Structure 1
Amino acid sequence: IRLTGTVNGKPREFTYEATFPKASGTHEAVPRLWAISKIGHLMDAIRLNGEKEELKKEIVALAKEFGVMTKYTSWLVLEDNARVFNDPAMDRRDGARRALREAAERVRQQNGDAPPPAAEWGARGEKAVEESREVQDAKEGKAQASEPAPGFVLDDAIAAGRHKDQGLRRKDAVQVVGGKTFYGASDGWYDEKWDGKQETLKVEYLSEEYFKLLAKSPELGKYLALGDHVVVVVDGKAYEITPAPK
Structure 2
Amino acid sequence: MAGRFTSEGAATAVVTGKLGGKPVTYEYSVTFDRGTFDDEFIPLLWANRRITYLVQEIRLHGNNDELLAEIIDLSKKYGILTEYTSFLVAGDERHRPEEFQTMDKDEAISEMRVRGGRAFSEQSGKIAVTQSSDLKTQSYMIMPPTSGVVQIEGETRRFNNIAQVGAQGFFRQGNLWVQGDLSGDKYDMKIKQYSKAYFQILEKDPSLGKYLGLGNQVRLQIGSQVVQIDTEGKETLTDSELKLLFQ
TM range, normalised to the smaller chain? 0.5 to 0.7
Query: Which SS does the other structure have where 2:51 is aligned?
Result: helix
With the length of structure 1 as denominator, give the TM-score of the two structures: 0.59
Structure-2 residue corresponding to 1:26? 38
Higher relative strand content: 2
**Aligned partners of 2:48, 2:71: CA distance in 1, in Å?**
10
Following superposition, the deviation at residue 191 of structure 1 comes to 1.1
Structure-1 residue corresponding to 2:172? 184
Amino acid at match of 2:40: E
Answering whether residue 140 of structure 2 is matched by residue 140 of structure 1, we say: yes
**Aligned partners of 1:85, 1:15: CA distance in 2, in Å?**
42
Structure-1 residue corresponding to 2:131? 131
**Aligned partners of 1:15, 1:137: CA distance in 2, in Å?**
32
Q: Deviations over 1:225-244 (max 9, x none)?
A: 00000011032222211026
**Aligned partners of 2:186, 2:220: CA distance in 1, in Å?**
11
- After superposition, the Cα gap between the structure-2 partners of 1:194 and 1:133, relative to the gap in structure 1 and judged at 3 Å, is same
Q: Deviations over 1:171-190 (max 9, x none)?
A: 42221112111111013101
- After superposition, the Cα gap between the structure-2 partners of 1:143 and 1:133, relative to the gap in structure 1 and judged at 3 Å, is farther
Answering whether residue 217 of structure 2 is matched by residue 229 of structure 1, we say: yes
- After superposition, the Cα gap between the structure-2 partners of 1:127 and 1:237, relative to the gap in structure 1 and judged at 3 Å, is same
Q: Which runs of 5+ in 1 are unaligned?
A: 4-13, 87-97, 102-123, 154-169
Answering whether residue 28 of structure 2 is matched by residue 40 of structure 1, we say: no
Query: How many residues are treated as equivalent by the alignment?
Result: 181
Write the mapping of 1:34-183 to structure 2, written as runs, cut at 5 A: 34-76=46-88, 81-82=98-99, 125-142=125-142, 144-145=144-145, 149-150=147-148, 171-183=159-171
**Aligned partners of 2:226, 2:164: CA distance in 1, in Å?**
17
Query: Which SS does the other structure have where 1:240 is aligned?
Result: strand
- After superposition, the Cα gap between the structure-2 partners of 1:152 and 1:234, relative to the gap in structure 1 and judged at 3 Å, is farther
**Aligned partners of 2:225, 2:192: CA distance in 1, in Å?**
17
Check the 8 A contact 2:168/2:180 in 1, yes or no. Answer: yes
Q: Percent identical across equivalent pairs?
A: 28
Structure (1 or 2) with the larger CA radius of gyration? 1
- After superposition, the Cα gap between the structure-2 partners of 1:239 and 1:85, relative to the gap in structure 1 and judged at 3 Å, is same
Check the 8 A contact 1:151/1:174 in 2, yes or no. Answer: no
Answering whether residue 159 of structure 2 is matched by residue 210 of structure 1, we say: no
Cα RMSD after superposing both structures: 3.9
With the length of structure 2 as denominator, give the TM-score of the two structures: 0.58
**Aligned partners of 1:233, 1:34: CA distance in 2, in Å?**
22
**Aligned partners of 2:11, 2:71: CA distance in 1, in Å?**
36
- After superposition, the Cα gap between the structure-2 partners of 1:131 and 1:205, relative to the gap in structure 1 and judged at 3 Å, is same
